C-alpha cells in the first residue's frame, strides 16, 4: 500500500509525498447577481414612502435644490420613517424633523405640512452641503447635530446619535462614500445609477457602489436598536 492510495491528493517529489493544493470552487456568477438584486430590492423598498403625493414632493424638492430624491428619502426614512405628524422629545417636527427655530429660518409656516417640511429640509441639507464644500458626511452630521457642532469638532461630532446617523442615512441611500455627482438631481435617475459622466472622457459609477457593506452596517444598527428596544420612536431632529 502506498501513501498515495491512502492520501490520494498527494504527489511524490524525490520519494517524499507532499499534499497537493485543491482548487477552490469558482464563485457562481448568479450568486453575485442575486446579492446585488437583493440589495437593490431592499433599498427600493426602504425608500418607498407609500404615498405618491409624498414621492412627488421629494421629486420637486430634489429638482429645485439639485439633490437626489433618494438622498432626501434616506434622510426622511431615518428621521421619521415618512410620518408627517411626528414630534420628537426634543421638539423636532414632521417628515424631515425640523426644529421650531430651523423651521422659522427656512420659512416653513406649518412643519406638519409634508410639502413645506420636505422643501424646508431639502433647503437646509443643500445649505449644509454648500457650507461644507459638498462633503455629504459633514452635511448630514450638520443636519443632525447642527453645523456649529461640526465646525467646533472639525468633523463629525463625537455624539453617539450623530455617529450612527450618518452611516445609516448613507446606507439607505446606497453608498457610504458617494461622489458629488451621486447626490445631484441632474446626475441621478430613479434606478439609482448616475446618468451623466463625472467629467469628459470618464464614466461615472453606480450610486449603489459599496452598498453591500453599507447594508450590512445598517442591518447591524437595526439589530442593536431592536435589542435595546429603542424602536426609533424618538427620531433625532435638526438643531
pLDDT in tens, 148-201: 999 999 999 999 999 999 999 998 888 666 666 667 776 544 333 333 333 333
133 vs 129: CA distance, rounded Å: 6
Read off the pLDDT band of 226 (50, 70, 90): low
Q: Which residues are catalytic?
A: 79
22 vs 90: CA distance, rounded Å: 60
Q: What average pLDDT does range 30-47 have in this prediction?
A: 51
Helix (H, G, I), strand (E, B), or coil: what is residue 226?
helix
Helix (H, G, I), strand (E, B), or coil: what is residue 25?
coil
Whether the pLDDT of residue 7 is over 50: the answer is: no
DSSP 66: T
Read off the pLDDT band of 51 (50, 70, 90): confident
Give the pLDDT score at 222.
60
Helix (H, G, I), strand (E, B), or coil: what is residue 3?
helix
- Contact criterion met (CB below 8 Å) for 61 and 72: yes
Tell me which of 19-28, 66-75, 95-104, 197-206 is least confident: 197-206
57 vs 46: CA distance, rounded Å: 17
Q: Looking at the domain 52-228, which fold is it?
A: Lysozyme (1.10.530)
Contacts of residues 144-149 at CB distance under 8 Å and 24 or more positions apart, as own/partner, are 144/236, 144/238, 144/239, 145/239, 146/238, 146/239, 149/239
Read off the pLDDT band of 50 (50, 70, 90): low
Element of type H or E holding 19: strand 16-19
The pTM score is: 0.62
102 vs 238: CA distance, rounded Å: 7
Amino acid at each position: 500500500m502506498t501513501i498515495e492510495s491512502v492520501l490520494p491528493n498527494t504527489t511524490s517529489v524525490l520519494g517524499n509525498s507532499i499534499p497537493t493544493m485543491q482548487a477552490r470552487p469558482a464563485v457562481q456568477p448568479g450568486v453575485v447577481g442575486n446579492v446585488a438584486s437583493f440589495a437593490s430590492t431592499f433599498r427600493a423598498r426602504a425608500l418607498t414612502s407609500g404615498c405618491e403625493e409624498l414621492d412627488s414632493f421629494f421629486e420637486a424638492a430634489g429638482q429645485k435644490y439639485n439633490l437626489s430624491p433618494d438622498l432626501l428619502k434616506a434622510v426622511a426614512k431615518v428621521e421619521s420613517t415618512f410620518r408627517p405628524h411626528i414630534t420628537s422629545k426634543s421638539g423636532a417636527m414632521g417628515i424631515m424633523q425640523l426644529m421650531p427655530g430651523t423651521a422659522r429660518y427656512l420659512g416653513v409656516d406649518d412643519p406638519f405640512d409634508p410639502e413645506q417640511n420636505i422643501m424646508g429640509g431639502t433647503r437646509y441639507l443643500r445649505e449644509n452641503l454648500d457650507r461644507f464644500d459638498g462633503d455629504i458626511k459633514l452635511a448630514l452630521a450638520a443636519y443632525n447635530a447642527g453645523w456649529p457642532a461640526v465646525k467646533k469638532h472639525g468633523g463629525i461630532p463625537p455624539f453617539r446619535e450623530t455617529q450612527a446617523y450618518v452611516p445609516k442615512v448613507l446606507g439607505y441611500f446606497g453608498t457610504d462614500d458617494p461622489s458629488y455627482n451621486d447626490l445631484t438631481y441632474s446626475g441621478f435617475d430613479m434606478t439609482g445609477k448616475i446618468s451623466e459622466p463625472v467629467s469628459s472622457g470618464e464614466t461615472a459609477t453606480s450610486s449603489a457602489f459599496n452598498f453591500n457593506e453599507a447594508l450590512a452596517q445598517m442591518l447591524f444598527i437595526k439589530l442593536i436598536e431592536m435589542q435595546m428596544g429603542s424602536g426609533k420612536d424618538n427620531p433625532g431632529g435638526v438643531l
